[in-house]
Amino acid sequence: MAKEGSQLVHDDNKQEGSEMLMRNPVYVLNTLSKNTIKENYKFKRLYRNLYNPEFYYKGYQEIYANPGNMTRGTINNTVDGFSKNRVSKIINNIKNGNYKPTPVKRVYIDKKGSKKKRPLGVPTFDDKLVQLVIKYILEAIYEPNFSENSHGFRKNRGCHTALKQIKKSGNGTKWFIEGDIQGFFDNIDHHILIDLLRKRINDETLIGLIWKFLRAGYMEDWQFHKTFSGTPQGGILSPLLANIYLNELDIYMEKYAEKFGKGQPKDREVDKRYQYLHLKIKRGRKKADLLREQGKHNEAQELIKQVNEWVKERGQRPYYNPMSDKFKSLKYVRYADDFIVMIIGSKDDAKAIKSDIAQFLNEELKLTLSEEKTLITHSSKKATFLGYNVNITRNELFTKYSVKGAKRRHHNLKVRLEIPHEAWRNKLLALNVLEMKYVNGKETWKPKHRPEMAHLDDLEILHNYVLQIRGMYNYYKYAVNSTVLQKFSYVLEYSMYKTFANKYKSSIGKIKGKYCKNGVFIVNYKDKKGKQHSHSFYREGFRTVDITKMKTQENNIDNLLASRVHMSTTSLMDRLSANKCEHCGKTDSNLVMHHVRKMKDVEKGKAKWQKLMIARRRKTLAVCEDCHNEIHYDMRVELIAKNRKK
């Protein structure tokens, strides 16, 4: 009997372990991704995954630290107060079909590189969480089949992988098409998007929930506005839905490239001028040798000078005729709604391709290709993509040997990536560290101090300036002219000196004398244990890095998910599951997670809960509901006291 009983316990444990594995989000997503490679496979019963609380816990762990989650939407629903009970309420509403996304709060933020502002939606935290669970499901289905030419909002991909593809595949390009889709995110047709989802998904309940998010609308100046097109404003789901939508363009362009392509590079005829010069050089050298034999050394020398001129001219010409129509090629790279087409062909080819893309977008996706902003640019000039200037070099030459060992001079028609002057200048202006003046018609630059930093400690000021330099270099380190950022760094360095001088009512000379050691600006500080440390100004250089050698992890969702199947529950959820209040120690109450936007909000606090957060260096505290109410009461009292002081 003992054996039978132990066997029953063993079977129960095995069954429980199996059920836990089946509930594990990573296991579920891994199963979905394996089916997505099956052609014409349609996914059913996906909606039931939204009943699984583990998906919400996973989502919470992923996004809880984002300060934006403390921003209120149209109702007071933020990450603060997250709990298992809150997840249960969400799931119950989803099960009953009563879940209704809240209209987002519309705010306006500065538009990069423009004085205009762009709208941004602020959803509630619960809506973000539900969108994130839907995103997990859709991503497992669609990500493995997305185009290799798509780089925006995808795992292990980004701006740099897009630029790397351009660098590797764009050599020899004659014409660029810089694609610009008018108001893409606001003009996605809901009906077309839903039809695209239905190609892979046979679950109208899930489709219906996505439809609710698309039509949730937004609030502006306390007025409700319906949304008839576009993706959810500010939504976590928006980038993925945009990629699903524009994957149709990716497929179209890949098929178009196959039809457009013609021949091989070697099929092109040799350039006639190159042939002519080659023959002149050969004959000239023979004649010079003959003149020397005849003792006519001066004439031979003059002829050799002429031959050298022909050699120089030949070196400036490509071996193959660049205008040959025996070889054509089209390459396409997309990042979100920005794309670039690289063409080896004629300008008429480029015009026809642009027209065909515009027609496809209009007829199939109800989108408009901007006629004015979609530029056709010759590769000797500079196209713009993802903040970089892109063109083809024509002044660098290399020698290539044929099978028979003969030398052939080739143009080094390779892609060149540059940082535009406007990029780093405008960044300095945006940071308000540069004053530009015109003196006698000449532009002069003068670094400015940043008065808004006067209240920060020395380390924070230094750290802020270093971050700006490092961030700029990390993005533009693949530009051939990346060393121009030394000028960017110089302006920021002297802006920093002026900021310190303003803070201490001193001069640049005195500040440098106090902080600089061996020409390097250094701030000393102590950590919590009293150990001495130092932080210096940026001195790591601005060398150009070869983007083709940039390492990226293989974007294989099967491997990615399989490696995490046995992942344990998160530390945050462990703390909520402990059922012990981290504030009062009570063990008989459901816990909620208290959040603050940043540690600075509690650093000078004297309340017990503030001291606990300071001691743990955490922006979260798992507390019972009574303590959470008490904490919010303290916060309201503190806010009233601050307002009275003002």
DSSP for 249-315?
A: HHHHHHHHHHHH-BS-GGGSPBPHHHHHHHHHHHHHHHHHHHHHHTT-HHHHHHHHHHHHHHHHHHH
pLDDT band at 425 (very low <50, low <70, confident <90, very high): very high
CA distance 429 to 427: 5
| Angle made by CA atoms 630, 632, 633, in degrees to the nearest 5 | 65
586 CB-contact burial (10 Å; exposed 0-12 / middle 13-18 / buried 19+)? middle
Instruction: Give the range with max mean pLDDT: 8-17, 550-559, 575-584, 596-605.
Output: 575-584
Q: What are phi and psi of 350, to 5 degrees?
A: -60, -40
pLDDT value for 234: 64
pLDDT value for 250: 98
Q: What is the mean pLDDT of the chain?
A: 86
Element holding 33 (H helix, E strand): helix 25-36
Tokens 């031979």 map to which residue?
A: 300
Low-confidence winner among 134-138, 226-230, 247-251, 625-629 (lowest mean pLDDT): 226-230
Termini Cα distance of the chain: 78
Other beta carbons less than 10 A from residue 619's beta carbon: 19
CA distance 621 to 594: 5
Q: Is 165 helix (H, G, I), strand (E, B) or coil?
A: helix
The answer to whether 23 touches 52, Cβ cutoff 8 Å, is: yes
Q: How far is CA 187 from CA 132, 152, 216, 230, in A?
A: 22, 18, 15, 5
Tokens 């199963």 map to which residue?
A: 31
Four-point Cα dihedral 569, 76, 138, 63, nearest 10 = -40
| Angle made by CA atoms 340, 342, 343, in degrees to the nearest 5 | 140
pLDDT value for 312: 87
Low-confidence winner among 27-41, 243-257, 565-579 (lowest mean pLDDT): 565-579
Q: What is the mean pLDDT of residues 212-219?
A: 79
Crossing angle between the packed helical segments 204-214 and 190-198, to the nearest 10 degrees: 160
pLDDT band at 562 (very low <50, low <70, confident <90, very high): very low
Low-confidence winner among 161-165, 188-192, 233-237 (lowest mean pLDDT): 233-237
14 versus 161: which is more confidently predicted?
A: 161
Other beta carbons less than 10 A from residue 515's beta carbon: 19
pLDDT value for 529: 74
Task: Identify each DSSP E strand in 412-564 by its residue range.
Answer: 415-418, 434-439, 442-447, 516-517, 520-526, 532-536
pLDDT of 352 above 90:
yes
141-176 residue pLDDT tens = 999 999 999 999 999 999 999 999 999 999 989 999
The answer to whether 608 touches 584, Cβ cutoff 8 Å, is: no
345 versus 603: which is more confidently predicted?
A: 345
Tokens 């795992």 map to which residue?
A: 155
15 CB-contact burial (10 Å; exposed 0-12 / middle 13-18 / buried 19+)? exposed
CA distance 40 to 207: 18
CA distance 124 to 75: 7
| Angle made by CA atoms 209, 212, 217, in degrees to the nearest 5 | 155
Low-confidence winner among 441-445, 492-496, 549-553, 642-646 (lowest mean pLDDT): 642-646
Q: What is the mean pLDDT of residues 382-398?
A: 84
588-628 residue pLDDT tens = 788 999 988 888 778 777 788 888 888 777 888 888 988 99
3-state secondary structure 564-594: CCCCCCCHHHHHHHCCCCCCCCCCCCCEEEE
pLDDT of 8 above 50:
no
pLDDT of 288 above 70:
yes
pLDDT value for 618: 84
CA distance 297 to 169: 51
The answer to whether 478 touches 485, Cβ cutoff 8 Å, is: no
pLDDT of 444 above 80:
yes
Q: Dmax over Cα atoms in the chain, in whole Å?
A: 119
The one-letter amino acid code at 252 reads Y
**Residue spans per domain, the chain:** 18-156+178-253, 272-315, 421-545, 578-645
CA distance 455 to 450: 11
CA distance 539 to 496: 15
The answer to whether 594 touches 85, Cβ cutoff 8 Å, is: no
Pairing of strands 223-225, 218-220: antiparallel
Percent of the chain clearing pLDDT 90 (strictly above):
57
522-561 residue pLDDT tens = 999 887 778 888 999 999 999 999 999 988 644 333 333 3
The answer to whether 556 touches 546, Cβ cutoff 8 Å, is: no
CA distance 94 to 52: 11
Give the CA count within 13 Å in the CB-facing half-sphere of 39.
Answer: 0
Model pTM score: 0.81
Structure tokens at 322: 């660049």
Q: How far is CA 487 from the centre of its chain?
A: 26
CA distance 120 to 107: 5
